[in-house]
Amino acid sequence: MKNVLELVRKGTTGILVVGNHPGIVQSILDFDFLSGKKGPSVVAIVGGARKAQKFFFGPSELLLPCFPDIGPIPRSFHGRISWMLNVRSGRRAFDSSIAFFERFPNALGGHLFAENIPERHATELLRRFGNDKLIAGPSGVGLLVAGHLKLGAIGGTDIAQIEAGNLTTEGSVAVVSTSGGMTNELIRAVAGARKDLSFAMCIGGDRFPITSLTDVLLLAQHDPKTNAVVYFGELGGVDEYEIVGLLEKKKLTKPVVAYIAGIIDEAFDEHMQFGHAKALVARQDESARAKRDALRKAGAIAPDTFPEFLAELKKLPGETFHATVLTMDSMKNRRPSVLSTREVVDLDAVPTFVKNKKLIPQKRGFAAAAFEALLDKKLRSDVTAAFAEAVLQLLIDHGGEVSGAVNTMISARAGKDLVSSLSAGLLTIGPRFGGAVNAAAEQWLSGVVQDDAATHFVEARTKGGKLLAGIGHRKYRVGIPDPRVAAISQFAGLLKEHPHYDFAREIEAVTTKKSGNLILNVDGVIAALALDILAECEKLSPEELRELAACEFFNALFVIPRSVGFIAHFMEQKKNDEGLFRLPEELLYVRKSKGKGR
Amino acid sequence: MARVKISEYRAKKILLGDAYKGIFVHAGQSYSAKASKGTLVVKVDQGIKKRFKQGLVAVGVTPSQALKKIAEWKKKGFSQFLLEPLVPHEASEEQYLSLERVREGIRILHAGEGGIDIEAHPEKVKTYIVATDADVKKVANAAKISEGFLQHLVGTFNKNFFAFLEINPLVIQKGKTYLLDAACLVDSAGAFFTDSWGEDDIVTTGSEHPAEARVEAIAKTTPASLKLSVVNKNGALFFLLSGGGGSIVIADEAALEGAGKFIGNYGEYSGGPSREETYLYAKEVIELMLASKAKKKALVIAGGVANFTDVKKTFTGIIDALSEYAPKLRAQKIKVFVRRGGPNEKAGLELMQEFLEREKLFGSIHGSETVITKAVEDAIAFTGV
């Protein structure tokens, strides 16, 4: 255990978090990022049914792997895990700690966060692991090695606290405390005295800390970086006599400044049980006064009042404070993403099907077979087959933001199966999402038949704020053409005539005068060219085309490929199962409900 | 989280099982003298120290005499009693034995003689440590106690999450062991792991303030820590403190400034309580303060720089409670003094300052850049105690 701090400073800092405390985990990742680490020290999280959990690393997000138990952690993780952060309750911390150290016998140590761990469990842990592991707790806030390791809530869980405590700068003052809150108060006091921290450890307010005060003090004594020890103790227990013993035997020669709280006990008629389990005077030598006097006698600086104690910190040896300027602006206003997914297809890459007005020959495969099945006829033309391939490829996915993909992902996160999640996505397809191909086909058909002037057609169709199908895009506009529309449009060059495509472009010429965003979109161009290709290459009559529109053939062109996309999103969510989805609490309540709004 | 005392009856029942013939009598229940025969020992069983010297034990009484004793003790306010058959023995047969959980294992103190006066003769007490099963045999041999008995004692101690057990006197007659008097502390954190003892077996001194009982009841329903002790119901300084260690530092400052006896309550909340839990806790402290007859009173809301307790969230809970009592607090001219740091510190302090100023309760407010003791110093200056 002697060289554990050196190992940490050399980078042995991989943490397995046992239990669920996202606030603490996030603070560790913030500390890591602000300390200039390339990646998080938390390797994985144990507990819960999810397979991954999202956290920030600096301004961006990442997924940390989660496992249901210590057993299923794959071998590939083993070499990276050196520390346990156990945030489970007093009822469950013991078994999981035993399991951790049995599974990772070479781990350097850990921290048990829970109060209420039975004494018997604490003494059993210290009997088995107390000699060669550095273990903070039971209870308290853990261990901090400035700039290298934050094992627990120690030093705070707010980014502002990491900055205020100057936790990422290596220094020379060690902080040791029984109390979690006072550990942080002391860390701040050290920063306030213009000193930097070498390490800080909260041994916890329980009766039997696993790593004893003596061991921590010897760690400080042997640590080449540490020049002085700042200690906070309380009435109750006799731990402070360990310091006295070490000072008397000259095993601890670095300066010790100590504050022992609990003089207040003398103002009461009976000894009182204070906040921590140990904080009760059972014998005279456990009083704050007795312990303080003994420390003074042994050579420690142990002032009467807290302000005097703070003044003493300023006199400690050690280089003066050098606050690292932390660039935190990018971290202050970060917001978690709603869902985590991947790009199912490369949305920027558009395949080429027609080059220099010539068809790039395609082997007839699934797409052609699908068209034949839907049309109930053999395809006569390679143009149709290539068009089928083009459409099915382009419509597989359009990013995770669209409503159908969102519904699929939410259903997957709710634990639903493939068919249910796929159905949830498909059921979203309709007039506002994905269902525009069929509507556009009907539109172009009637426009061509009526031989109406485009201006008039637009006017008639958009009366009362109605929208045209197949027209408009959120991102692309005049001057920034949609590459997919351009790719599909190439098919027009292969045809002798293309009345539906021409009509669609005429409509576009009218609408783009209103707004640059009202361009012909993928749905619209697919509908138009599908009609033209089926008419010219497959010899379908206008009646047959109308019949196809009536039975939603053109919607099938969207449903078939997008099913593949939804299934890909489903699988992605299952792989990184982050548990049940819930929106952040930022909903607009359009009507006040009873009892809300306190 | 702490060691608590259980009744002697329960301790002996756990140790001896069906062989134990003691009868537990509660003040509320009727008890017939016919249930006991022969010569008895009767005692108050409420975890009181030095019962013998206080006259709370009667040895060698008949069943009807025992009933009279119980009636007499009831009048003094005691409520739990224990009846046992008398074990006749010589004073010279009395031994002392105690077990306590320590870092190294179980520390055993034993004296071959001495009995109830053992404290007067510390030189007669020998100390042993049992860390492993093998140690039991060594200790039994060295102390001349039956190995089987000691083995049973140590096993029961471990299995039932005992923290301290004192048998005084222990009487050994012809190889048979009698536990005449036993005191037992259990580790309350073990309650989840054993059902051999429970809530009903824990003895209290009975002088608990109702507010303390209410806070204890809330504390049982949350992983956060909520503690309250009423110290002086007519105190001038009332504390809403956070953090086990920080709260003592703040109370210390009051003692160091000579205001120790004007402290109304001690207590602390920590471990990230919710807004609602903080509200319920704050209400109790505010009611205590309003009931105090002190002329000039101050509320001190103070604590260290929290690691993970959200300052804004807990302060919102405190404000919920303060706003309920604001008119009464103003009527009594009470002022509020604040020092706190931690997550969401700035937002929490701003919220509190805005509220206190609006409600005319503002004393002073400080953040983590100010020393932890500042609020209590301000409050002492205000109350002039």
pLDDT band at residue A324 under the 50/70/90 scheme? low
Contact status of B305 with chain A (Cβ, < 8 Å): yes
Q: Residue B156: inside a domain, yes or no?
A: yes
Contacts of B147 (CB under 8 A, 6+ apart): B136, B137, B140, B141
Contacts of B196 (CB under 8 A, 6+ apart): B14, B159, B160
State the pTM of this model: 0.84
Residue A376 structural domain: 354-575
Contact status of B373 with chain A (Cβ, < 8 Å): yes
| B27-36, B190-199, B289-298: which is most confident | B289-298
The ipTM is: 0.86
| Average pLDDT for A563-588 | 90
CB contact under 8 A, A306 and B249: yes
Tell me how many domains chain B contains. Answer: 3
Residue A206: pLDDT above 90? Answer: no
| Average pLDDT for B177-204 | 90
Q: Residue B4: inside a domain, yes or no?
A: no
| Omega cis (within 30) before B169 | yes
CATH assignment at residue B151:
3.30.470.20
| Per-residue pLDDT reduced to its tens digit, A385-409 | 999 999 999 999 988 999 999 999 9
Statement to judge: residues B270 and B377 lie in one domain: yes
Residue A595: pLDDT above 60? Answer: no
Backbone angles phi, psi at A277, to 5 degrees: -55, -40
* B297/A316: higher pLDDT: B297
Q: Residue A302: inside a domain, yes or no?
A: yes
Residue B48 structural domain: 20-85
Statement to judge: residues B240 and B374 lie in one domain: yes
Statement to judge: residues B273 and B370 lie in one domain: yes
| Per-residue pLDDT reduced to its tens digit, A27-65 | 999 999 999 999 999 999 998 788 999 999 998 999 999
Q: Which of A148, A276, A398, A500 is catalytic?
A: A276
pLDDT band at residue A598 under the 50/70/90 scheme? very low
Statement to judge: residues A361 and A294 lie in one domain: no
- Would you state the pLDDT for residue B93? 86
Domain stops at, among B85, B101, B129: B85
Q: Residue B7: inside a domain, yes or no?
A: no
Nearest beta carbon to residue B253 from set A156, A277, A306: A306
Residue A80: pLDDT above 60? Answer: yes
Q: Where are the beta strands (DSSP E) in chain B?
A: 3-6, 23-26, 40-44, 57-61, 80-85, 94-102, 105-111, 126-130, 162-173, 176-179, 182-187, 225-230, 237-242, 265-270, 298-305, 335-341, 362-366
Statement to judge: residues A426 and A312 lie in one domain: no
Contact status of A199 with chain B (Cβ, < 8 Å): no
Tokens coding B383: 């109350």
* Residue B380 exposed, middle or buried by CB count within 10 Å (0-12, 13-18, 19+): buried
Statement to judge: residues A284 and A390 lie in one domain: no
Nearest beta carbon to residue B307 from set A153, A266, A267: A153
A276 is catalytic: yes
Coil, helix or strand at residue A203: coil
Q: Residue B261: inside a domain, yes or no?
A: yes
- Would you state the pLDDT for residue A379? 95
Statement to judge: residues A135 and A37 lie in one domain: yes
CB contact under 8 A, B248 and A235: yes
Q: Residue A336: inside a domain, yes or no?
A: no
Residue A597: pLDDT above 50? Answer: no
Contact status of B371 with chain A (Cβ, < 8 Å): yes
pLDDT band at residue B207 under the 50/70/90 scheme? low
Residue B93 gets which letter from DSSP?
G
pLDDT band at residue A337 under the 50/70/90 scheme? confident
| Per-residue pLDDT reduced to its tens digit, A99-121 | 999 999 999 999 999 988 999 99
| Average pLDDT for B133-139 | 92
| Per-residue pLDDT reduced to its tens digit, B344-371 | 999 999 999 999 999 999 999 999 989 9
| Per-residue pLDDT reduced to its tens digit, A414-449 | 999 999 999 999 999 988 888 889 999 999 999 998
- Cα–Cα distance, B347 to B355 (Å, whole number): 12
Q: Which of residues 19-58 of A touch B (CB under 8 A)?
A: 23-24, 27
Whole-number percent of chain A with pLDDT over 70: 97
- Cα–Cα distance, A283 to A271 (Å, whole number): 10
Q: Tell me if B64 sits within 8 A of B35, measured CB to CB.
A: no
Statement to judge: residues B124 and B262 lie in one domain: no
CB contact under 8 A, A185 and B304: yes
Q: Over chain B, what is the mean pLDDT?
A: 90
Statement to judge: residues A363 and A293 lie in one domain: no
Tell me how many domains chain A contains. Answer: 2
* B272/A217: higher pLDDT: A217
Statement to judge: residues B75 and B175 lie in one domain: no
Nearest beta carbon to residue B254 from set A90, A264, A304: A264
- Cα–Cα distance, A189 to B368 (Å, whole number): 10
- Other CB atoms within 10 A of residue A352 CB: 9
Domain stops at, among B57, B85, B113: B85
pLDDT band at residue B35 under the 50/70/90 scheme? low
- Would you state the pLDDT for residue A596? 46
| Average pLDDT for B71-79 | 88
- Would you state the pLDDT for residue A591? 67
Statement to judge: residues A371 and A286 lie in one domain: no
* A191/B29: higher pLDDT: A191
| Per-residue pLDDT reduced to its tens digit, A344-371 | 888 778 888 888 888 888 789 999 999 9
Tokens coding A146: 């400035």
CATH assignment at residue B39:
3.30.1490.20
- Would you state the pLDDT for residue A466? 81
CA angle A101, A104, A109 (to 5 degrees): 60
Q: Residue A597: inside a domain, yes or no?
A: no
Whole-number percent of chain B with pLDDT over 70: 96
Contact status of A179 with chain B (Cβ, < 8 Å): yes
- Would you state the pLDDT for residue A362? 79
Give me the total of CB pairs closer than 8 Å, taking one residue from chain A and one from chain B: 183
Q: Residue B133: inside a domain, yes or no?
A: yes
Please state at what angle helix A418-426 crosses helix A403-413, rounded to 10 degrees. 150
Q: Residue B195: inside a domain, yes or no?
A: no
CB contact under 8 A, B308 and A310: no
| Average pLDDT for B307-319 | 93
In the block, tokens 């049995």 appear at A102
Statement to judge: residues A371 and A312 lie in one domain: no
Residue A312: pLDDT above 60? Answer: yes
Statement to judge: residues B271 and B287 lie in one domain: yes
Residue B121: pLDDT above 80? Answer: no
Nearest beta carbon to residue A123 from set B103, B266, B270: B103
- Would you state the pLDDT for residue A464? 75
| Average pLDDT for B275-298 | 95
Of A232, A179, A566, A215, the closest CA to residue A411 belongs to A566
